[in-house]
Amino acid sequence: MGHNNMSTRAEQLASDIADAILAGVFAPGARLDEQGLADRYGVSRTPVREALRLLGHTGLVEIRPRRGATVAEMTAERVDEMFVAMGEIEATCARLCALGMTPIDRRRLEALHERMGQMVKKRNEPDYAEANIAFHSAIYAGTHNSLLIEIATSLRRRLSPFRRAQFRAPGRLALSHAEHDGVVKAILRGDAAEAHCAMLRHVNLVENAYEQVSATATRRPRRATK
């Protein structure tokens, strides 16, 4: 998943263990005992401990003092909550973009949006998926608020396992771009309220299109957020 430095063994381990969890090697709720992981990865307990703490902060594992670490159980309710929070954060970012994006920011966002339009015409799903990440990152960056950028980026990573197959359905590509269009237009014209609203609609639709990976309970429809 390599966006990390991997400079220390603990970080490598954290990444490896995270991959293993997402790959289903360690089931949700499973106990992660330090010695076992140390043996498995051929290191001592010390870096394993650090890795587990790191993962504890990302929410992937739950750590209770003196009672060990377990793979965090992602209930449907919990995933719901994360999507709601993500939506609100992204909407907030869009709002701040409308209020404070520099002219350069705006031109870049517009150019990216334009390019994504071409991809839609060519039905180029892989490139669009990649550009989509860049698009949302640009919205985060447009806030010029490193804390919000950090929160949004981290949340996005945490939710990535639940975002499979977004653009596979036939009309999804064009629909996504149309929603983006509403967001971009509102931002460019400095309409904070509409930017917020448009982004919220966008991410809620994304959410409704997701399918859960873990075999937990089926989801019920959520209330509309106005």
Q: Kindly state whether residue 129 participates in binding DNA, applying the rule CB under 7 A.
A: no
Q: Kindly state whether residue 218 participates in binding a second copy, applying the rule CB under 8 A.
A: no
* Separation between Cα atoms, residue 93 and residue 179, nearest integer Å: 16
Q: Kindly state whether residue 15 participates in binding a second copy, applying the rule CB under 8 A.
A: no
Q: Kindly state whether residue 55 participates in binding DNA, applying the rule CB under 7 A.
A: no
Nearer of residues 64 and 171 to a second copy, judged by Cβ: 64
* Separation between Cα atoms, residue 87 and residue 83, nearest integer Å: 6
The side-by-side arrangement of strands in the sheet containing 69-71 is 31-32, 69-71, 61-63
Phi, psi of 71 (to 5 degrees): -65, 125
* Separation between Cα atoms, residue 77 and residue 91, nearest integer Å: 21
Q: Which of 18, 69, 95, 176 binds a second copy (CB under 8 A)?
A: 95
CA 155 vs CA 114, 115, 151, 158: distances in Å: 27, 26, 6, 5
Give the bridge partners for 80, in sequence order.
none
Binding mask 1-40 for DNA (x = CB under 7 A): -------xxx--------------------xxxxx-----
Residue 213's binding partner out of DNA, a second copy, none, with CB under 5 to 8 Å set by partner kind: none
Q: Which of 20, 22, 148, 205 binds a second copy (CB under 8 A)?
A: 148
Neighbours of 54 (CB within 10 A): 18
- Minimum CB–partner distance for residue 29 and DNA (Å): 13
Q: Kindly state whether residue 68 participates in binding DNA, applying the rule CB under 7 A.
A: yes
* Separation between Cα atoms, residue 90 and residue 153, nearest integer Å: 10
Q: Which of 21, 61, 96, 119 binds a second copy (CB under 8 A)?
A: 96
Question: In sequence order, which residues have a C-beta less than 8 Å from that of residue 124 and are 6 or more positions away?
Answer: none
Closest alpha carbon to 189 in 62, 101, 129: 101
Q: Which of 31, 78, 121, 164 binds a second copy (CB under 8 A)?
A: 78
Lookup: tokens for 191 = 């309409």
Residue 35's binding partner out of a second copy, DNA, none, with CB under 5 to 8 Å set by partner kind: DNA
Q: Give residues in contact with DNA (CB under 7 A).
A: 8-10, 31-35, 43-47, 49-50, 65-69
Q: Give residues in contact with a second copy (CB under 8 A).
A: 5, 7-8, 11, 49-50, 53-54, 57, 65-66, 78, 81-82, 84-85, 88-89, 92, 95-96, 99-100, 145-148, 151, 155, 192-193, 223, 225-226
